[in-house]
Amino acid sequence: MSKPFYERGLRFSCTRCSVCCRRDPGYVFLSRNDARLLASQLEIGYSVFVESYCRWVDPDGEGKTLSLREKANYDCILWDGGCTVYQNRPLQCRTFPFWAENLASPENWNRLDCPGINRGKTHTAAYIALRLEARGADPVLRSEP
């Protein structure tokens, strides 16, 4: 098996520019842990959080998945001049940009529309592997197909 292109690490530093949080449609998939943490931070019940801040989507035809809602302008529902839940943001947000699809090739990595890519701190391959494992260890909530 060949070594990943990032075996010597990758440079990334979040500038908190919010490019990944605003102006484009997309999904922020949530695990049960994510939803519980966010409900707690917002000081509302779990069910109220899901009903008020989430939607069920089926982007891959494999059953519905819980995702944060978006505002009419496609901003994340939890964005208001910045992430209002930054300390407890969903795992998907915490592990960005170290997602499998972004790490599939140097081209995918360099194609990301993010000013923090290839800047700032170098993250080791071991750190990146932990980010990938974290996503696998806390699966997103899916309903029956």
> Token match 């890519």: residue?
117
- Quote the pLDDT of residue 144: 60
pLDDT in tens, 38-87: 999 999 999 999 999 999 999 988 899 999 999 999 999 999 999 999 99
More confident residue, 143 or 56: 56
pLDDT in tens, 4-43: 999 999 999 999 889 889 988 899 999 999 999 999 999 9
> Token match 């982007």: residue?
59
- Quote the pLDDT of residue 62: 86
Positive or negative: CA dihedral 105, 62, 97, 126: negative
- Both tokens of 69, joined, read 């809602």
Which residues 6+ apart lie within 8 Å of 34 measured at CB?
A: 90, 91, 92, 138
CA dihedral 12, 15, 16, 21 (to 10 degrees): -60
